[in-house]
Copies of this chain bind each other. A is one copy, B any other.
């Protein structure tokens, strides 16, 4: 059973964190066939944090988990912090295949998204 764990930075502003949870719910409706389990998680400042998000996926029966960083730039969080936390958490689940997806800014589709968003101005 495949799981998708959407990881945002986490904010002191509750509304920002709620947006991520809503996005994960939207994702659930859009790719339930591919990923039967989808949750949101946070690097810091909000719950569940990454290890708890992974735990939740495993408890619901995930055998493979894609951790998807909801980050635009390849900053320290993407390059170091998230990989380090995921590597450490992996030790608790030796039989689960846990991978980290590229960050969003790296995708070719980002171009289409930027243009569509600019054009939504009028």
Please report A residues at the B interface, Cβ cutoff 8 Å.
4, 6, 8, 11, 13, 15-16, 19-20, 23, 26-27, 30-31, 34-35, 66, 68, 70-76, 99-107, 109-122
Contact = CB atoms under 8 A, between A and B. Distances in A.
A73 B8 contact: yes
Contacts of A120: 101-102, 107
Q: How many copies does the complex hold?
A: 2
Nearest to A108: B116
A40 B72 CA distance: 14
A6 to B, nearest CB: 7
B8 A72 contact: yes
Nearest to A107: B117
Given A27-B115, A66-B118, 19 more contacts: A8-B72, A15-B74, A16-B75, A26-B111, A27-B111, A31-B118, A34-B119, A70-B72, A71-B72, A72-B72, A99-B122, A103-B117, A104-B113, A104-B114, A106-B117, A107-B116, A107-B117, A109-B113, A109-B117
